[in-house]
Amino acid sequence: MTNSRNTSVLISGASVGGPALAYWLTRYGFSVTIVERAPALRPGGQAIDVRGPALEVAERMGLLADLRAHSTAMRGMTMVDGDGNEIYRSEERTLTGGELASPDVEIMRDDLARLLCDAAGEEVEYLFDDSIAALDEDGAGVHVTFEKTPPRTFDLVVGADGLHSTVRRLAFGPEVDHIHHLGTYLAVFTAPNFLDLDHWQVFCQAGRYGGGIMSARDNAEARVFVGFESAEPLDYDHRDVGAQKRLLADHYADAGWEFPRALTYMWDAPDFHFDSMSQIRMDSWSRGRVVLLGDAGYCGSPLSGQGTSMAMVGAYVLAGELRAAGDHTAAFENYEKELRGYVAANQRLALTNKARVEARMSGEAVDFQDFGEVVNALVLKDY
């Protein structure tokens, strides 16, 4: 690869990192294809945060105003016990978004994905309802075998396909070699706003049961969060949604508060998502012509509050280094040099926040660590 013009890049994953990378690469003259296992952009997902240098990336993309227009606009939060008694209230911060007076933007995951895909433009080719089955690299490029699409060859392949990355498994080996379980599982799904919440969220911790409900879409609906602790990773198929719902229902069979009513909506939720709170830690994010982006290479877990920001910043840096270096080997090395410290700091933050979330959920008045020092630790280059 000597220059960007007509250099072909295959990106696996059409959530946040993939479309953000496609935006920058197409503007630098690369030819971009995105393959996505889902039949269309995935609906639903939790409220996610754009912070620190990711806000600057959004500004440089011309998207910051749109992000703010689609923010969750939360007014505050309440913590209750198993009987619904209020034990904590705040109109200054929320559990999902942090300080309400900060410049950070909290937005629903699917809203951000749609904005990023729209911004990437019509030059991007999408292969929905498909996935990568095999990668074979030689001097001519990466020969990609798809599950459905006929085989094709690309100059570069990027894994932006999340915690359970197919690209990472094919290029770097089994997931177990890179994943670090943080002892918690979380499910998220859409439900009616049955508590009539007004830009508000309510969280409950009652013994082994914990979770919350927040309004969404200007109070037209709600997102339900339910989770539980498990010291050891569970053995389940992360693609078998029915089995995941049954697992969660069994765990919450005797739960109080509003959990039983919330879980009645789980069975028909089209956007149910269940997974572990885990981190991905790797010595290298690239191998040959294959490179990892966002959760696929350096997932911080939702406990960091930084996964979205790391993916957007990572996309900006990776595309910029590819443009600047004109050689993928040097570009991948520079990409890691730029981001390693930022990623490490945010992964450490997740471990700190895990203890603080547990204390807050038990009713203690705990102040979370200020995100400022961590999220602003990276000064973005101009590429």
Q: If the chain, 383 residues long, is cut into consecutive pieces of 10 residues, what is the mean pLDDT of each piece?
A: 72 98 97 97 92 96 97 96 92 90 94 97 97 96 98 98 97 97 93 98 88 96 92 87 94 93 95 94 97 97 90 98 94 97 90 66 53 68 93
Please give the model's pTM, rounded to 2 decimal places: 0.93
Tokens representing 100 are 């309400």
Enumerate residues 6+ apart whose C-beta is below 8 A from 65: none
Run of H or E residues at 206: strand 200-206
Strand 132-138: give its sheet, edge to edge: 132-138, 141-146, 152-154
- pLDDT for the residue 171: 98
Enumerate residues 6+ apart whose C-beta is below 8 A from 357: 95, 303
Nearest-5° Cα angle at 22, 16 to 25: 140
Long-range contacts of 258-263 (CB under 8 A, 24+ apart): 258/84, 258/194, 258/195, 258/204, 258/213, 259/204, 259/209, 259/211, 259/226, 261/194, 262/191, 262/194, 262/211, 262/213, 262/224, 262/226, 263/226
Per-residue pLDDT tens digits for 178-202: 999 998 899 999 999 999 999 999 9
Phi, psi of 147 (to 5 degrees): -70, -30
- pLDDT for the residue 41: 95
Q: How many CB atoms lie within 10 A of CB 221?
A: 14
Distance CA 221, CA 204 (A): 19
Distance CA 313, CA 17 (A): 9
Nearest Cα neighbor of 362 from 41, 62, 88 is 88
- pLDDT for the residue 2: 45
User: Biggest alpha carbon distance in the chain?
Assistant: 65
Residue the block writes with tokens 């072909």: 8
Residue ranges of the domains in the chain? 8-71+106-179+278-362
Q: What CATH code would you report for 8-71+106-179+278-362?
A: 3.50.50.60
Distance CA 17, CA 29 (A): 18
Alpha helices in 154-213 (DSSP H): 166-172
- pLDDT for the residue 304: 85
Distance CA 48, CA 105 (A): 8
